[in-house]
Structure formats: structure tokens, C-alpha cells
Amino acid sequence: MKKQIKNNVSWVGKVDWELQRFHGDEYSTHKGSTYNSYLIQEEKTVLIDTVWAPFADEFVQNLASEIPLEKIDFIIANHGEVDHSGALPALMEHIPATPIYCTANAVTSLKGQYHKDWNFKVVKTGDTLDIGNGKSLVFVEMKMLHWPDSMATYMTGDNILFSNDAFGQHYATDRLYNDLVDQCDLFSEAVKYYANILTPFSGILAKKLEEVLALNLSIDIIATSHGVIWRDNPLQIVQKYAQWAANYKENKITVIYDTMWNGTKTLAESIADGIRSADPEVALSVHNLAKSDENDLITGVFTSKTVVIGSPTVSNSILHSIAGFLHLAKEMKFKEKKAAAFGCYGWSGESVKVLNGLLSEAGFEIIGEGFRNQWNPDESARARAFEFGKQIARA
Ligand code: FEO
């Protein structure tokens, strides 16, 4: 259903209430998502992005009920990823000659995915497209935010930045705008989205934000491709991104472990008690990885100054759950975070050494040598783990 955003600009996207996993199974979306597509009806009619492939037919039908499809003069593909381009094949069946404006990399992406030679018009930063009524579209390449093909499109006159993935959230809502939804839900999804999707590109993002701000564009609305549209103080999310891109951390320590017979779990709790006793102010949370959501834990790592990771020794190494999580953490390229390792063992006892190696490779500054305990922790081992927690809090 078409919903007016401002003047002749409308939302024509899809709310995906039941989405639970995104990027295959890589990203948990507890609150669903939206695929935001926008229709501009000035002297020229413009479609900005489409929706994910499973909703292609519904999208095209809805669009055709609003306007004759052949009235679409231009399509803007801000990003080639399938959640935004997925309805292009169905749409282009109806209007095969309509020009698609996108970056050179997006041509590669779209051709690679759909194997169609559509009427691509390559644009780069600063290029403009006149859409009549004194308004135009200005393109801004957003390379690596988060794919090499990403771009944003700014509409003059109405001062709308169609930012695509940037500033988005996987958050299904029919309220459409940032001021109409629960703010805790909104910001917890926005930071999760940043932590899991954009953290690896924080350096690039910081430079891009400076570049966009230097353009001195008046921005009344940031129309993202996922979640809400920022209309109330839209620059608040830009300011948040600037903070998040600057190696963000709060006064927070996150303890993450997996355990076989609860020995490592016992250590985790004693370490946490030690941290708390040494620092009554620090935010502290303890998670059994096997019973937690990895993307939520990545968000926890993102917001923490220190992470404490535990695994028992198994087969001269660590549990594969923890190994997989540390692989994911390495992908995120976290900077300026500390880490400490711990774990129980029965025989050979390599887990702490392996953890220290993986944490170091993932860019964490290692606190001490770690803490390991043979067999089940007794009172003395728990006391030493408590002391180790105090050492972490003071590091
Ligand atoms: Fe929402 Fe990179 O796609």
C-alpha cells in the first residue's frame, strides 16, 4: 500500500513481519524487517529501490495498482543486494527499457545476479538527474557501506536523503517514522544493525560522514531501506553513526563462555563476581554462548570496553561454538577493546592459550595470561577466578 512521505514522495515497500533470519541464517531479526521502496511522482516518475525477491509479485501488483508501470521514467538502484533489487526481474518484465541508475559496481552486481542486460545508466558521486518541478536527484557513492556498489540518493527541493542500508534497522513496523515507534526498540535494532553490518567499515564510514556533511545538504528526512524513516531530528542517527564509527565503547564488560560440564560456567560466574566487587559501576553481563543469540552478543561486544571469553579444553583446543564466535568477532574488526580468556580443563589444558591467540588475531588487547583451572573448580579455584575478575576490572 502506498503511503505519502512528503509532497509527491511515497513509500511503496513491504513490511516483513515474520522475518527471523537475514543474510541466510547469519543475522537474527527478532523484530522482522522492512524493505523500503519509494515512488517519486514529479514531472518525472521515479522508483527508488524495490523489495526482496519473495515479495516481488506482490510489490509489482501493488505498484501497478497505483500507477501504470510504463509511467515510471527512471529506476534508481541504490544497492544491488537482493533485498532491494529482488523485484527488479519481475518489474523489468513489464518495462524492459526503463533506465536503471546505479553505480558501475551495481551494474556488475545486478548483471551477476540476474544475468539481464537492462538499460543501465552508470552514475558517480555528484551526478544529478532532473526530475522536473525544479527538483533533481543527486547521487552519492557509498562504497563499502556496506557493499562496493552501495550509494545514496538525495532529492533536492524536498531535502530527502534516500540512504539505502545506512541508518537502517531490521525492525518491522507500520508506523513508518522514527518518532512513532518505541525508542528503546528502535535504537537497540539500530545499534545491532551497525554492530553486525557496519562495524568492519567504521573507518570508511567516518570519512564518508565527513564528506556528506561537507556537502552542506539540508536534510529534512532520511529515508532508509530498512525500518523507520528518520523525520524527527533526522541527523540524530547521523550523530549516532559518528559516535559508533569512532571505536565505540561504553563502561561495560561482557563475559561470554561455553561449557561442557559447567566447570567453565562456574569460573564465568566467579570472574563476574570479581569484576563486580572491583567496580560497582561497570555494566556487566554474562552469557552462555550456546544459549544466546550470536548477533545480540556481537552487539554486546560492540558496546563493551572489555570482553572475557571462556571455553573448556576439548581435543587440545576450544569448543567450536566459541571458535565460530571469535571468527565472527574477527570479521567485525573491532578496535580499542580489551579481552581476557579463561577455561577449565581435565587433561592437556590448551584452551586459554588458543583463546588468547584467536582474540589477539581478532584485534583485542589481551589482559594478562588468562585463567585456567584443572578439573572442577573448588572453593580455592573459585577464589582465584574471583581475583582474576578483579584484575580484569582494574585493567
Ligand atoms: Fe539491505 Fe545490503 O542490503
pLDDT digits (tens, 9 = 90+) for 331-340: 999 999 999 9
Domain co-membership, 237 together with 280 = no
Q: Domain boundary residue among 180, 210, 244?
A: 244
Ligand 1, CB within 6 Å, residue ranges: 79, 81, 83-84, 146-147, 165, 225-226
Helix (H) or strand (E) holding 161: strand 160-164
SS3 of the chain: helix, strand, coil, percent, to 5: 40, 25, 35
Identify the residue whose C-alpha is closest to ligand 1 atom 3: 81
Domain co-membership, 264 together with 378 = yes
Three-state SS sequence of 287-317 = EEHHHCCHHHHHHHHHHCCEEEEECCCECCE
Ligand 1 center to residue 394 CA distance, Å? 40
Is the per-residue pLDDT at 1 higher than 90?
no
Domain co-membership, 217 together with 356 = no
Please report how the helices 351-361 and 320-332 are oriented relative to each other, as an axis angle in degrees rounded to 10.
20
> Does 369 participate in catalysis according to the annotation?
no
Domain co-membership, 14 together with 42 = yes
Distance CA(367)–CA(359), nearest Å, equals 11
Domain co-membership, 74 together with 173 = yes
Q: What is the CATH number of the domain that holds 148?
A: 3.60.15.10
Mean pLDDT of 341-365: 98
DSSP label at residue 280: S
How confident is the model over 8-62, as pLDDT tens digits? 999 999 999 999 999 999 999 999 999 999 999 999 999 999 999 999 999 999 9
DSSP label at residue 278: H
Distance CA(34)–CA(176), nearest Å, equals 10
Domain co-membership, 48 together with 125 = yes
> Does 94 participate in catalysis according to the annotation?
no
Q: What is the CATH number of the domain that holds 350?
A: 3.40.50.360
Angle formed at CA 174 by CA 172 and CA 177, multiple of 5 degrees: 95
Domain count, the chain: 2
Name the CA radius of gyration of the chain, rounded.
24
Q: Domain boundary residue among 197, 226, 244?
A: 244
Ligand 1 center to residue 370 CA distance, Å? 39
Catalytic: which of 38, 146, 194, 241?
Answer: 146
> Does 185 participate in catalysis according to the annotation?
no
Read off the pTM.
Answer: 0.96
Domain co-membership, 111 together with 53 = yes
Which has the closest alpha carbon to 218: 141, 154, 140, 152? 154
Ligand 1 center to residue 123 CA distance, Å? 19
> Does 83 participate in catalysis according to the annotation?
yes
Is the per-residue pLDDT at 215 higher than 90?
no
List, in sequence order, the alpha helices (H) in the chain. 56-66, 82-85, 88-94, 104-114, 183-193, 202-214, 235-245, 263-278, 294-303, 320-332, 351-361, 379-394
Which range marks the domain in which residue 108 is found? 3-244
Domain co-membership, 387 together with 315 = yes
Instruction: State the greatest distance between any 2 C-alpha atoms of the chain, in Å, as a whole number.
Output: 78
Is the per-residue pLDDT at 217 higher than 90?
no
Domain co-membership, 222 together with 313 = no
Domain co-membership, 236 together with 340 = no
Distance CA(379)–CA(377), nearest Å, equals 7
Atom of ligand 1 nearest to the CA of 197: 2
Ligand 1 center to residue 308 CA distance, Å? 31
Q: Domain boundary residue among 244, 261, 289?
A: 244
Domain co-membership, 324 together with 227 = no
How confident is the model over 234-253, as pLDDT tens digits? 999 999 999 999 999 999 99
> Does 350 participate in catalysis according to the annotation?
no
Domain co-membership, 14 together with 154 = yes
Is the per-residue pLDDT at 258 higher than 90?
yes
At 75, the pLDDT band (50, 70, 90 cuts) reads very high
Which has the closest alpha carbon to 333: 201, 186, 218, 236? 201
> Does 294 participate in catalysis according to the annotation?
no
- The C-alpha cell 508501470 sits at 69
Catalytic: which of 42, 73, 165, 189?
Answer: 165
